[in-house]
Amino acid sequence: MIRIGMLTSGGDCQALNAAMRGVAKTLFNSKEDVEIYGFLNGYQGLIHGKFRLLTYNDFTGILTQGGTFLGTSRTPFKTIQIPDEDSLDKVAAMKQNYYKLQLDCLVILGGNGTHKTANLLREQGLNVITLPKTIDNDLWGTDMTFGFQSAVDIATDAIDCIHTTAASHGRIFIVEVMGHKVGWLTLNAGMAGGADIILIPEIPYDLDKIVKKIKERHDQGSRFTILAVAEGAISKEDAKLSKKELKKKMENYKYPSVSYEIAEQLAKKSGLEVRVTVPGHTQRGGSPCPYDRVFASRLGSEAGKLILKREFGFMVGYRNREIVKVPLEDVAGKLKMVDPNATIVKEAKMLGISFGD
């Protein structure tokens, strides 16, 4: 008998259900007797012992469904070892529920923070296998995360839709794309959507360089300009501030997000109309695209194979077009940033795209 626990943690995204289905079907189709316990709402379910025994039918018909049928929540790693208001030791509680159910392994689907906690549980002696979920594609150790391509498709569609109204009215349009720390989503959606300017956290921008690009386009006969701006885009001035100084500045921040600050500044400097569009959480929603359905299924299947082989302590990742297993200790706490000198950035610049630098 193999008993596994399964949970999804952090922000939701497309193909979580597809990945869990891949794990379950691989195990159920093996010659082993299998029990799968689904913990509800992420690590909170594991902490408080909220779970249900899942059957084969629970994984039928979910390949195309977005979100996660187990529910999810954010349980910050920085507080995971701090007792809650009821003096509950969260790590001890998770271990207790793991052993109470006599689990052979925990399958954990999540992003950066989720992997930190997963590695902590591994260090505490639990058997863990993880799957890389995030629309940001910022997990170290894997070239791709599931949910990313679906989010790129949605963000690209938003930019595509802006083109016609921007061209019709001769305006500057800013499309704000998700990504507080890393710009992979904005970079890919911006290139796919034909954005003229792409602003990402890894490349601090100079507003005067942005205005210059807009004027160049105007002089060439272009009546509009589209900017793809990451949530975490930052000016060169702010990038020079210490974390403490930046935090103090943000306490009195009057804008809903950086896009609105850029919009106000551009309107003043260019004299043109500027509009902001924020697709927001639509980028996390809807059905997974075909790529993510296949990709998540493959990752899930490989996770199932590792469980059957009793190989634990790994994230199932993707490198050089091959599914690989990556030691959890190598993944936890590392972000895969966009290198400002990366080939894709250089190619974007050759296409005439400005990064405001």
Q: What amino acid positions are annotated as catalytic residues? A: 136
Q: How many residues does the chain have?
A: 357
Quote the CA–CA distance of 132 and 108 in Å, as a whole number. Answer: 9
Q: What is the CB neighbour count within 10 angstroms for residue 282?
A: 14
Quote the CA–CA distance of 265 and 152 in Å, as a whole number. Answer: 27
Both tokens assigned to 162: 């802006």
Report how far apart the first and last C-alpha atoms of the chain are (Å, whole number). Answer: 58
Query: What phi, psi does 316 have (nearest 5°)?
Result: -85, 115
Task: Evaluate whether 21 touches 55 at the Cβ level (below 8 Å).
Answer: no
The DSSP letter of residue 287 is P
Strands 274-277 and 172-177 turn out to be: parallel
Q: CA nearest 108: which of 121, 96, 95?
A: 121
The DSSP letter of residue 182 is -
Question: Distance of CA 252 to CAs 204, 243, 246, 247, 261, Å?
Answer: 21, 15, 11, 9, 13
Task: Evaluate whether 19 touches 7 at the Cβ level (below 8 Å).
Answer: no
